[in-house]
């Protein structure tokens, strides 16, 4: 290894050419599988690494960092960083970076696509055609819900929530919003909304924010969309609400856990769409995320502040 060269462990191959730029300066080991490394494999990968480029599915906690005595920098390939124990990293002097402001519009596109797909029952209609069940046109088949002119409730009016609101207004929807930090604003939103879209961060306070009590406040004709974080929704309660017809449907890009096992009971619920966390899945966005993550690592390993560094909140 050349002088000044650090060893970096990357937990998944990334689109674009960003990793080539990292490899030109440092020694880079890329986890070869599409399946995330296990805890033991991750420990082995970081054992002598100075830089770590992690995915949102990689749990970076106090125990893992105990096995990474040389680690100086963690670049998370995500806007969120709830997979990283920031306090544990800070006490070891390890810089942590993320990839902010790059996937706002892409994720908003998907949130609205899920809303439309659930409202108009597109998955059921597509599958019916594939099964050869088109038959004759029937007036009451695949009846969905109007999006135009309906009410959209957004919980978490940050960048992505605001981008979803802009799309909704193009459909002349009535947009209302609430903050997850102001619990007294959530119940009225749930009661008034035809669609509820979640865009709040995952914190101890927002874990299971949408539980059985919250679902009971929604309209029977309402549809829930979650492109934020899986644990914000109590999935057992959601499954029961769908089975009971307490709400009309749900569309999820995020689940708890991820990946969601094929045998998970949630997947037996009716009127449910689940996609595998593809909110940022466009060529341009994923490549830009790789660029930002590599820029964070290059800066930190060069002794400079990360361009997109996150800190422990007080």
Question: Among the options 229, 239, 286, 308, which is catalytic?
Answer: 229
29 is catalytic: no
Cα 113 from Cα 159, distance rounded (Å): 17
Closest CA to 301 of 23, 17, 15: 23
**Bridge partners of residue 226, in order along the sequence:** 198, 252
Closest CA to 192 of 177, 202, 213: 177
* 83 alpha carbon, distance to own chain's centre: 11
* 58 alpha carbon, distance to own chain's centre: 13
Residue 119, Cβ neighbours under 10 Å: how many? 20
277 is catalytic: yes
Question: Among the options 167, 277, 286, 308, which is catalytic?
Answer: 277
Helix residue ranges per DSSP H, 82-145:
86-91, 104-119, 122-130
**Which residue is it, tokens 């802009």?**
166
21 is catalytic: no
**Which residue is it, tokens 């919250």?**
214
Cα 28 from Cα 68, distance rounded (Å): 16
Q: Do the beta carbons of residue 96 and residue 51 sit within 8 Å?
A: no
Which positions are annotated as active-site residues?
A: 229, 258, 277
């Amino acid at each position: 290894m050349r002088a000044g060269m650090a060893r970096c462990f990357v937990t998944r191959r990334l689109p674009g050419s960003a990793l080539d730029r990292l490899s030109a300066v440092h020694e880079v080991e890329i986890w070869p599988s599409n399946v995330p490394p296990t805890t033991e494999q991750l420990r082995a990968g970081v054992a002598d690494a100075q830089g770590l480029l992690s995915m949102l599915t990689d749990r970076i906690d106090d125990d893992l960092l105990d096995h990474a005595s040389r680690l100086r920098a963690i670049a998370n390939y995500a806007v969120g960083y709830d997979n990283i124990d920031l306090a544990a990293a800070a006490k070891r002097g390890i810089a942590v970076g993320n990839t902010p402001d790059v996937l706002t519009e892409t994720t908003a596109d998907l949130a609205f696509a899920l809303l439309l797909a659930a409202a108009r029952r597109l998955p059921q209609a597509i599958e019916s055609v594939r099964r050869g069940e088109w038959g004759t046109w029937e007036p009451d088949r695949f009846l969905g819900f109007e999006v135009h002119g309906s009410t959209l409730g957004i919980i978490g009016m940050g960048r992505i929530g605001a981008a979803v609101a802009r799309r909704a207004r193009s459909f002349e929807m009535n947009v209302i919003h609430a903050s997850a930090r102001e619990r007294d604003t959530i119940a009225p939103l749930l009661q008034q909304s035809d669609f509820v879209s979640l865009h709040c961060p995952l914190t101890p306070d927002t874990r299971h924010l949408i539980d059985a009590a919250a679902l009971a406040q929604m309209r029977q004709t309402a549809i829930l969309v979650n492109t934020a974080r899986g644990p914000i929704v109590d999935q057992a309660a959601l499954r029961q609400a769908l089975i009971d017809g307490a709400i009309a449907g749900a569309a999820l890009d995020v689940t708890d856990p991820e990946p969601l096992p094929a045998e998970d009971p949630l997947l037996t619920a009716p009127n449910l769409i689940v996609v595998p966390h593809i909110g940022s899945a466009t060529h341009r966005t994923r490549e830009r995320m790789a660029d930002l993550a590599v820029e964070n690592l290059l800066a930190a390993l060069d002794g400079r502040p990360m361009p997109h560094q996150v800190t422990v909140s007080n």
